[in-house]
Structures are given as C-alpha cells and as structure tokens.
Amino acid sequence: MASNQGVPLFIDDKRFGAYLSPVKSQRIFLTGASSGIGAATARLLAQKGHRLILISRDLSAMKTWAESFENNQVLVHEGDTTDAESMRLAAQEMMDRWGGIDVCIPNAGVGVFSPLSEAKLSDWHRMVDVNIKGVLNSIHACLDALLENKGQVIQIGSVAARSVFPNSGVYCATKHAVLALSESLRIEFRDRLAVTTINPGAVNTAFIDQTTNTELRESYRPTFDQGMAPDFIADAILLAIESKGRGIFSEMTVRPDLR
C-alpha cells in the first residue's frame, strides 16, 4: 500500500544513483497524465507516496490504476488544459481535498511535424493552444497556492527548446516559449518558487503518431522507437522534486543513450 507519509526515497537507477533524504508527501498537479511521460510520472510519484491529481481528457486511462491507491492519494480530473476554467476547478479540488498545492507539472503537449509550406493552420493553432496556452492555464490555476507554499513548477520542455529543427518550426517555437516562461518564473519569484525545466530528446511514446504526414512520420519513427523510456523522464522529475531542500535543478537535458 502506498503511504502518504514521508518515506526514505531511493532512485533505483544507476543513471542517477542518488540517495535522497526522507521528504514529506508532496501535493502534485499533473496534466497529460493518461499516457506517455505523464502516465509514467504519475505511477512513479504515487508509488513514492506523493499525492496527485491526474488531469487528462481520457478519464478511463487513469481511473483503473488510480483507484488502487487508498486514502484518496490519487485523484483524477477529466479536463482539457486549453480550458482555463477546467484547470481552475482541478486546482480548487486539490485545495479542497489537501489544503494546498506543492508542485505543478504542466506536462500535456502535442507535436505535429510538417514542412511549414505544407502544414495545416489548425495543427499550428493546436500546438500553440496545448503547448503554450495549456501551460499558462495550468500554472495560473496553481500559482497562488504554489507561492504560498514555496512550491515548485516542473516544466516539460524539449531539446527543441534550445534548437530549431526542420519540419518542426512551430513545435520548436512553443517549446522555446515554455523555456522563456520558466526563466520568467524563476527570475520574478526567485525566493518563493522553485522552477525546473526538463528538456528530453526522443522518447519512446506515441508522440510521433500525431504527425499525419506519412513520409515524415515513418522516417522519424525509428528515432522515437529507439528513444528513452518514459520511465527515465519520470526518474528525472522525481529527482527534481526530491532534491529540493538541498538544491534546485533549474534545467535538465536528457537524451537517449549512445548506441
């Protein structure tokens, strides 16, 4: 049974290999929790005794395993990050249930690869809506509670936050925006808010399936198939959360192993 109390925490992975001091159960707001990095993160954080509200449009994908945790350790909220009111209600549910928010992880994101000359405007708008507006909605909903508790924002950026790649100009622009927002939060709330941005390279999830350009999708698929397991990104998120008090990871770039 998962516990809501502070427990000795050990990242059982030689890539980190860090023994972390016992920490109290953190109250965590996590979007995009039904699949990929979000699902892996939700499971790991819950197993470590943290309390989470999991937010996704796909309620059924979260609900079955979340119910295995007792004492309301894991809440599920059917919501869309592009809907500011939905994010406000999720944050309020946390406040009503647990009295505060310690960590906000606006993980939900989309990426559609296409040459700019062939791209659909609707795909551009969707990336902006989810990757930028969805992040803003999530952070805005949690910010007052985070500042009150000297909490933490963990942003999921991308190597595309530091580089620009062909066929992904708008996606790169959205991840540059995420990084800029992280830096703004860090500067404005230096003594009141911990801010971490994790920039993954290719991760082996269904991310590439969002690309409708068949030729590009299949040419990129081997890169994603050989990418990092989402559990590895979850490990990095756990490390960022449970290192607080000793130091803060402002930015972490994680890439696939050498082959």
Domain-embedded: residue 131: yes
Domain-embedded: residue 221: no
Domain-embedded: residue 97: yes
User: Residue 89 is part of which domain span?
Assistant: 21-110+123-200+230-252
Domain-embedded: residue 246: yes
Encode pLDDT of 183-209 as tens digits. 999 999 999 999 999 999 989 888 888
Encode pLDDT of 122-143 as tens digits. 999 999 999 999 999 999 999 9
Encode pLDDT of 66-118 as tens digits. 777 777 899 999 999 999 999 999 999 999 999 999 999 999 999 999 999 99
Query: Which has the closest alpha carbon to 119: 159, 168, 158, 160?
Result: 168
Total domain count for the chain? Answer: 1
The CATH number of the domain holding residue 146 is 3.40.50.720
Domain-embedded: residue 29: yes
Domain-embedded: residue 187: yes
Domain-embedded: residue 167: yes
Residues 241, 26 contacting (CB under 8 angstroms)? yes
**CA gap 166, 102 in Å, rounded:** 38
| pTM, entire model | 0.88
Active site residues: 171
